[in-house]
Structure 1
Amino acid sequence: MPSHQPHTIAPSDLPETITRYLRAHHDHDTTTAAAAFTDDAAVTDDGRTYRGATAIEQWLNRSATEFTYTIELTDAQQIEPAHYVATHHLEGDFPGGSVDLRYQFSLRDDLIERLVIEP
């Protein structure tokens, strides 16, 4: 039996939870962004994993202020029914100056259970 094949979707077809998180993160609205996660969620960013609501909120607060950058959603894919990838192009004052990052989302009960951010 074949497994689900990733397929490109319009960014507007990403689940509402993901678009709400991305918009809130972009706007530095950490309260709204944190509310998109399950209580036991995990985020992996820059090689570090943050588990639980408190750690994720601290990560969101730090990532909102650490660097100044622009972010553009350039691609979206549905990997499986509850797994999505949103690719973003970032340019700013961080090391390297520009990067494409894959935000890999796993959803549970219409909330983000896991987020992995990597090139």
Structure 2
Amino acid sequence: MNLPTVVTQLVNAQNNYDSKTYAECFTDTAIVHDEGKTHNGKEEIYQWIEDANKKYKSLMKPLKYEESASKGILIAEVSGNFTGSPVVLQFHLVFKDNYIDSLKVTG
């Protein structure tokens, strides 16, 4: 599967529980929507993924990737310390200057 570099970095950071590198995949003004909450900017994104890593210990296994223009959808199996694990989630991505500018996680 051919993933954009920044998506590969995101998956690797997630699977290594590296919250700092994960947050660095985003623009300074990026927005993340997950579990009914919105996180704005790298600092909030860092705090969100740091908390999620401690709570869920999630691992991502990419299953499919589609891209058009500056948008992409990563479908991945996510497993970890949560009810229903593993689950297949969709990561709706918007890119800007080779970084992620928006991420929305859906089931």
Q: Residue type matched to 1:53 in 2? A: K
**2:46 alignment partner in structure 1:** 57
**2:22 alignment partner in structure 1:** 33
2:66 is paired with a residue whose SS is strand
Q: 1:68: how far off?
A: 3.5
Provide, for residues 1-44 of structure 1, a one-character-per-residue CA deviation record: whole Å limited to 9, x for no partner. Answer: xxxxxxxxx3xx22101111111121111111111100000011
RMSD, matched Cα: 1.3
Q: Percent of aligned pairs with the same residue?
A: 25
Number of equivalences: 107
TM-score (norm 1): 0.82
Structure 2 residue runs of 5 or longer lacking an equivalent are: none
1:95 is paired with a residue whose SS is coil
Flag as ranges the 4+ runs of structure 1 deviating above 4 A. Answer: none
Give the Cα separation in 2 of the matches to 1:69 and 1:112.
Answer: 20
Q: 1:97: how far off?
A: 2.7
**1:82 alignment partner in structure 2:** 70
Q: 1:70: how far off?
A: 4.0
2:100 is paired with a residue whose SS is strand
Note if 1:14 corresponds to 2:8.
Answer: no
Note if 1:106 corresponds to 2:94.
Answer: yes
**2:32 alignment partner in structure 1:** 43
Q: Residue type matched to 2:101 in 1? A: E
Give the Cα separation in 2 of the matches to 1:108 and 1:114.
Answer: 9
Give the Cα separation in 2 of the matches to 1:31 and 1:97.
Answer: 25
Structure 1 residue runs of 5 or longer lacking an equivalent are: 1-9
